[in-house]
Amino acid sequence: MKETHSNYNEYDNFAFHPYNILLILVLMGISALFLAFTAAFVYTRVQNNLPPIRLPNIFIFNTLILLASSAAMIWAKRAYRADQTLHYQRALWATALLSLLFMVLQFLGWRSLFLNQIYINTDNSAGYLYVISILHFAHLLAGLPFLGLFIWAAKKRMKEPVSVLIYFSDPEKKLKLRLLTIYWHFLDALWIYLVIFFYVNYLIR
C-alpha cells in the first residue's frame, strides 16, 4: 500500500523536532543539576550534623505566584489556539508580570534570611539553600527574554487582520509557544520540589 507524505509537517511532528529534542536535553540537564545539589545538601548536613534551616514564609507564598504564572501561560496557549488577540497579549503580559513579582519576592525572601542572621557563609546548609534558590532564580531569568520576544512579536504583528491571521497560523510560532509553556511548567514543578525538599529537611531534625 502506497503511503503519501503530502500532509507531513515538521512542526506537527513534535516528538522528533530539533527544538523539542533541545528542550528535553536542557530540562534533563537542569534536573540533574538540582538533584545533585539537593543530594549534596543532604549528605553535607548528615555528615556535619548541621541544624535545619526554616524557609521564610515568603518562599512558600512564591509557589502560588509561580502557579499563577503557569496558569497565565496556559491562558496564552489557549488564546493562541482560539485566535483571541487581546486575550493572548494579556496572558503573555500576565505571565511576565507574575514572574517579575516572583523575582522581587525572592529578594525579600533572601532579605528575611539576612534578618535572621542566616548568610551564605553561615554554614554549608545555608550555602546550599542560597545557591539552589539563586540557580532557580537564574533559570527563570533566562526564560524571560524568550517571553519578551513573544510579547514584542505580538505587539508588532497584531495590528491588522491579515498580520494577525499570519501570526496565528505560523506553525513555528505555535511550536515555540508550546516549548516555552513546557519550560514554565517545569520551573514551577521544580520550585515546588525544592520547597517540599527544604520543608521536609527542616522537619527531620
Q: What is the pLDDT of residues 9-39, one digit of tens each?
A: 555 555 567 888 899 999 999 999 999 999 9
**Count of other CB atoms within 10 angstroms of residue 26:** 15
* Contact partners, residue 197, CB within 8 Å, separation at least 6: 38
Residue 19 to residue 42: CA distance in whole angstroms: 35
Residue 1 has pLDDT above 70, yes or no: no
Residue 5: predicted pLDDT: 47
Mean pLDDT of 104-131: 89
pLDDT digits (tens, 9 = 90+) for 119-156: 888 788 888 999 999 999 999 999 999 999 999 988 88
Q: Residue 17, class by beta-carbon neighbours within 10 Å (0-12 exposed, 13-18 middle, 19+ buried)? A: middle
pLDDT (tens digit, 9 = 90+) per residue, 170-181?
A: 788 888 889 999
**The pLDDT value given to residue 203:** 80
Angle 133-134-135 (CA atoms, 0-180°, nearest 5)? 90
Closest CA to 183 of 134, 139, 153: 139
Cα–Cα dist 85/181, whole Å:
18
Among candidates 140, 133, 117, 131, which has minimal Cα distance to 60? 133
pLDDT at 71: 95
Q: Which residue has the higher pLDDT, 158 or 78?
A: 78
Distance from C-alpha of 30 to C-alpha of 127, rounded to nearest angstrom: 19
Per-residue pLDDT at 15? 59
Mean pLDDT over each residue of the chain, to the nearest integer: 86
3-state SS of 55-77? CCHHHHHHHHHHHHHHHHHHHHH
pLDDT exceeds 50 at position 183: yes
What is the four-CA torsion angle of 20, 22, 24, 28, rounded to 10 degrees? Answer: -170
End-to-end distance of the chain based on CA atoms, in angstroms? 67
